[in-house]
Amino acid sequence: MVCEKNETVVDVGIPVVMLPQDAGGSLKVSMKNSSHVSIQIYSPKRPLVDVAEVFLWLMAVGTVLCASYWSAWSAREAAIEHDKLLKDGFDEHLTSDTHHSSGLIEINTASAIFFVVFASCFLVMLYKLMSYWFIEILVVVFCIGGVEGLQTCLVAILACFRWFEHAAESFVKIPVLGSVSYLTLAVSPICVAFSVLWAVYRSASIAWIGQDILGIALIITVLQIVRIPNLKVGTVLLSCSFLYDIFWVFLSKRWFHKSVMIVVARGDGSGEDGIPMLLKIPRMFDPWGGFSIIGFGDIIIPGLLVTFSLRYDWLSNKSLKAGYFLWAMLAYGLGLLITYVALNLMDGHGQPALLYIVPFTLGTLIVLANKRGDLKHLWTVGEPYRPCPHVRLQQDEQ
């Protein structure tokens, strides 16, 4: 076909069909004999909603739910211990130092912005260096994080049973690592073995189960350790992540000719089935196969805000209905649900989940806090006002 210089572009579509060799031979003979040849091509339709998406939604929501309750329980225990130390006459500075040395990481405004900048640089590096060996490095990093997360979760769960209390409270000093409980020493080899087995057999059909277990444990551990101190920091973090997700899914095509986020998530050019920093479930009723996936950031970033809301509710002794957690949790679930609806409406084309999740979660908290008159306090302080134990003691005596 020849087009003139000023002719408009012609939309030409050429279907391609793969045939067995014998069928191709018969077709070739029929065409040589000038016989009339007609071909019918069957294209199976994808289901409107696959069961895998339902399970993935439950998995993401359940992970945030578990992490929130663990974080709130830890915060309440720390607050009770803090009050006991103050009642016993310990200095306020000593108790605050103890709080900071407990392994918790509080994000501030600067670190929230830096995190998004660093994530962008890391994403571009993944895009440019995507290869088999680079995926292998990511697998090693994921396994290390997965071991730490799985170990932390298993120790916390087993320590709740009286059979393991003594092992959890007995410590031994190990060079470099410091004091380590006997329960941690017993659990660690199991976690390492599980992670290594997944890494070796990650191409197996059921390897996604191991990846999800390691991923969920890692996410819960991160949400337990990393915290936002107030709504201001949460707003900065989620707003920057909102713009980050939109840019690298949609707008990056202008500069990189491809959607950087989608290329990295799929692991294009690496010979591997995507990067390991994803939760995924195989599509069960899709004739084209594949996986339904969700990135760790789509759970961790809004999860930080949801865990913050439950910590505030518990420290404020608010009921479920009068607090903020219930509404934040519902908003996250609804935002993620809208993401999957948009994904299906766009015929499977990748969607930035935070585009839908952030307005729901952050918007719900800000509107609700403003309506209840708590917005200023949540924005700046982020913790309920608790009078000093000495003051409460004097009030009780009176």
Domain carrying residue 116: 51-397
Q: What pLDDT shows up at residue 270?
A: 67
- 43-60 tens-digit pLDDT: 677 777 788 899 999 999
Residue 69 lies in a domain: yes
**Phi, psi of 37, deg, nearest 5:** -115, 130
Give first-to-last CA distance, the chain, whole Å: 98
pLDDT band at 126 (very low <50, low <70, confident <90, very high): confident
179, containing H or E segment: strand 178-181
Handedness of CA 258, 261, 265, 271 (dihedral sign): positive
Residue 77 lies in a domain: yes
Residue 46 lies in a domain: no
Asked whether the predicted pLDDT for residue 5 surpasses 70, the reply is no
Task: Give the residue numbers marked as catalytic.
Answer: 245, 298
Residue 43 lies in a domain: no
The model's pTM:
0.83
Q: Among candidates 273, 136, 143, which has minimal Cα distance to 198?
A: 143
Asked whether the predicted pLDDT for residue 135 surpasses 60, the reply is yes
Tell me the two tokens of residue 129. Answer: 């260096």
Residue 281 lies in a domain: yes
- 288-311 tens-digit pLDDT: 778 888 999 999 999 999 999 999
Share of the chain above pLDDT 90, in %: 47
CB of 222 within 8 A of CB of 300?
yes
Residue 349 lies in a domain: yes
- 73-122 tens-digit pLDDT: 988 888 787 777 666 655 545 444 444 445 788 999 999 999 999 999 99
State how far the Cα of 346 lies from the Cα of 355, in Å rounded to an integer: 14
Buried b (16+ CB within 10 A) or exposed e, 33-58: eeeeeeeeeeeeebeeebebbeebbe
CB of 274 within 8 A of CB of 280?
yes
Residue 35 lies in a domain: no
Residues in the chain: 398
- Structural Rg of the chain based on CA atoms: 27
Asked whether the predicted pLDDT for residue 36 surpasses 50, the reply is yes
In the chain, the number of structural domains is: 1
- 309-355 tens-digit pLDDT: 999 999 888 888 889 999 999 999 999 999 988 888 876 567 889 99
